Homo-oligomer: A and B are copies of this chain.
Amino acid sequence: MPKPDNSPLPGKPASLRTRDRILATSLALFNADGVAKVSASRIAAELGMSQGNLHYHFRRKEEIVDRLVRRYEQEAGPVLAGPTSELASVDDLWLFLHLGFEKIFEYRFIYREIDYLTTEFPSLGARMRELTAQGIETLKRLCTQLAAAGCLRASEEEIAVLALQMILTATCWFTFARLLPETEDTGPGRAAYQVLSLLVPFLADNERTYVEYLRRKYRA
C-alpha cells in the first residue's frame, strides 16, 4: 500500500490538505448513505486513517457537517443571489435553475436529511431558513423581471405561489426522487425541467418553444 503523500506544498501545509481530504470523503459518504449512518470511524476507515487522527482535525462530527454546510452556503450564495443582469427570456431562467440544482445535487445530503440535521444540529435550522427565504425572494424577483420583459403573464399573487412551489421543489426534489421508480431520470436537468414546467401555463406563446425542446429531452 503506497503511503499517502503528506509532504507540505508551498503555502499549503499537510494539515490543510488532510482537512480537505476529510471533507471530500465525508461529503461523498454523507451524500451516499446519509449523515446519520456515517460514523466518524467509518470516515477514518475510508481514508485509511486512525480515528485519533481524524479527531485531531475535527473534534466532533458536527464540525465536519457544519464546515460542509458553510461551504454550501458560500457556493450557493452567488447562485441564489441570481444573475446580475435582468432576465430577458426563459432560457436565462433555465440556466439559473440548472446551476442551482447542480449545486444542490453536489451537497444533496443537506436537503435529503434536512429534518434530521436541523434537530440534531439546531444551529443549522436558522441558517437553512435564511437560505430558503432568500431563494423565494430571488425567484419572485426573477419572475417579475420575466413578466416585465413580456415573457410571462402572472399576477403578484400567482408569482408568490409559484416561487414558493419552485423552492419547495428545489428543496425536496432529490429526497422525493428516491420514492420514484429507479428507471426515471431524476438528475439536476430533469429537476430543472420539472420546475420550469410550473411556469408553462403562464408563458407567452413564443417562449414555449424552448420548454418544448426540454420536454423532448427529459421526458423521452
Contacts and interface: CB of A to CB of B under 8 A. Distances in A.
Interface of A: 33-34, 36-37, 112-116, 118-120, 125, 128-129, 132-133, 157-158, 160-161, 164-165, 168-169, 171-173, 175-176, 178-181, 194, 197-198, 200-202, 215, 219
20 contacts: A34-B116, A36-B116, A36-B119, A36-B120, A37-B119, A114-B175, A115-B175, A115-B178, A116-B116, A157-B215, A157-B219, A160-B219, A164-B194, A168-B168, A168-B169, A168-B172, A168-B173, A172-B175, A198-B198, A201-B202
A28 to B, nearest CB: 16
How many copies the complex holds: the figure is: 2
Helix, strand, loop or mixed for chain A's interface? Answer: helix
Contact of A34 (B119, B178, B198): B119
Contacts of A201: 201-202
